[in-house]
């Protein structure tokens, strides 16, 4: 089961300012084996729109997912900076510290910060 979790990329985000969600991905009926992933894009009007994109992708791998919160990200690749903040009205605030740890794996050369401020 772990190998299927490894097939799900940890991070898929856009550049600029956008909504994001933190998602728990796990094998069906085995939530103890899980991983968290970060997804975000500029075109999402709602955090739920992002989850609507994630669910079919993980379902193809016979995995399930739960959104555990959301917020916003500012991604500036020229400055190598990521800023995580805010919350989702529908899913609540993601644990931004967890989100930043995941982002650091993909963007080790970036300056990554988070705060509970803003919407």
Show which residues are catalytic: 47
H-only helix segments in the chain: 2-6, 47-60, 96-106
Placement of tokens 């994001």 in the chain: 20
Compute, in degrees rounded to 10, the torsion defined by CA atoms 62, 100, 42, 65: 20
3-state DSSP call for residue 59? helix
User: From the CA atom positions of the chain, what is the Rg in Å?
Assistant: 14
Placement of tokens 């988070």 in the chain: 114
φ, ψ for residue 62, nearest 5 deg: 60, 40
């Amino acid at each position: 089961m772990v190998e299927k979790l490894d097939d799900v990329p940890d991070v898929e985000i856009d550049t600029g300012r956008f909504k994001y969600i933190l998602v728990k991905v796990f094998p069906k009926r085995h939530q103890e084996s899980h991983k968290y992933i970060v997804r975000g894009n500029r075109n999402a009007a709602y955090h739920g729109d992002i989850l609507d994109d994630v669910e079919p992708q993980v379902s193809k791998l016979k995995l399930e997912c739960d959104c555990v919160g959301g917020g916003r990200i500012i991604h500036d690749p020229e400055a190598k900076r990521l800023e995580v903040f805010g919350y989702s009205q529908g899913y609540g605030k993601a644990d931004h510290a967890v989100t930043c740890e995941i982002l650091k794996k993909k963007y080790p050369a970036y300056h990554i910060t988070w705060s509970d401020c803003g919407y």
